[in-house]
Amino acid sequence: MNVKIKSLFIGIVAGVIVACISVYLLGYLAAISYPASLFVWAIDHSVLGVFTSAIQFIELLFGACILAALVSYFLAKKLTVSWAYLASAFVIAQALGAYLFVAHLSGQVFDETKHFLLYLPYLMTTSLCVFVSSYWGGTRQHA
């Protein structure tokens, strides 16, 4: 089998599996409650937007990015694949898989663009983690 086609196939399968797992992980991480005093402090100091963005980034980092980075690193390191094709297919499949999986769980079909834009932070953080870890795994493949 051609290395590029093999990389795309493995990336798509791994991306969909990681998307389904990360949706549940993000749900469990979002259920962690934060003390009300933190939000009062953030409102008093006019940093509520920065504070909530930091919380969202931490949830995305621990819920989706670390899992995606580990999977893509070990796939690029242990298998004979092209890291760029693997990472591209992984990111696209993970983004679409998570979007459709959440739509399926909620019983709704999102037909507007604004709903997909809500997944933009998820897409950006996981893309960065997957491309960096795939590059590291692919370049250190025979070391």
Going by the DSSP 8-state scheme, the letter that residue 75 receives in this structure is: H
Q: What does the alpha-carbon distance between residue 109 and residue 100 come to, in Å, rounded to a whole number? A: 8
Going by the DSSP 8-state scheme, the letter that residue 79 receives in this structure is: S
Q: What pTM, to 2 d.p., does this model score?
A: 0.77
The domain containing residue 101 runs over which residues? 3-139
Listed in sequence order, the residues at least 6 apart from 85 whose beta carbon sits closer than 8 Å to its beta carbon are 4, 7, 8, 11
- State the burial class of residue 43 (Cβ atoms within 10 Å of its Cβ: 0-12, 13-18, 19+): exposed
Q: What does the alpha-carbon distance between residue 138 and residue 128 come to, in Å, rounded to a whole number? A: 15
Residue type, 123: L
List per-residue pLDDT tens for the chain, 143 residues long: 798 899 999 999 999 898 888 888 877 777 677 777 777 877 887 777 777 777 777 777 777 888 899 999 999 999 888 899 999 999 999 888 877 777 776 666 555 555 666 677 778 888 898 999 999 998 876 65
Our count of domains for the chain comes to 1
**Secondary structure of the chain: what % helix, strand, coil (to 5)?**
80, 0, 20
Q: What does the alpha-carbon distance between residue 40 and residue 29 come to, in Å, rounded to a whole number? A: 21
